[in-house]
Amino acid sequence: MIKEFVNHYQFRALRQASRRMRRQPTKSEDLLWQALRKRQLAGLKFRRQHPIGPSIVDFYCHEKRLAVEVDGGVHQENDVKEHDLARHVPDRGEV
């Protein structure tokens, strides 16, 4: 569970940020979501903008423990590149 990686206030902030991000997807995220939603890909359920540890991944399949990050144009900006390089998702088995 995510709560073991962050405190209560960080968890609330991540949930709020993920909700905001779901309301304003990038073009790349929106295109991929159209293919992933409603179990269209091999019957797997994906979640959008899912908090894992201190990060939010674009798409997450709990059944396969698969996180998907879409690198659209926003990831080409220098400050975002640095942030992407610095972050990581903890490898602690099932999240």
In this structure, is residue 54 part of a structural domain? yes
pLDDT in tens, the chain (95 residues): 444 566 877 888 888 999 999 999 989 999 999 999 999 999 999 999 998 888 889 999 999 999 998 876 666 677 766 666 666 555 545 44
For residue 29, being part of any structural domain is answered with yes
pLDDT computed for residue 45 by the predictor? 97
Give the whole-angstrom CA distance, residue 63 versus residue 86.
27
| Structural domain contains residue 93 | no
**C-alpha–C-alpha distance, residues 29 and 91, integer Å:** 24
Q: Which structural domain range is residue 7 located in?
A: 2-86
Sequence-distant (6+) residues with CB within 8 A of 1 are 95
The Cβ of residue 86 has, within 10 Å, a number of other Cβ atoms equal to 7
- Contact in structure between 55 and 89 (CB atoms under 8 Å): yes
- What's residue 7's pLDDT? 81
Residue 95 lies in a domain: no
pLDDT, position 48 = 94
Residue 94 domain flag: no
Residue 26's alpha-carbon distances to 10, 72, 91, in angstroms, are 24, 7, 27
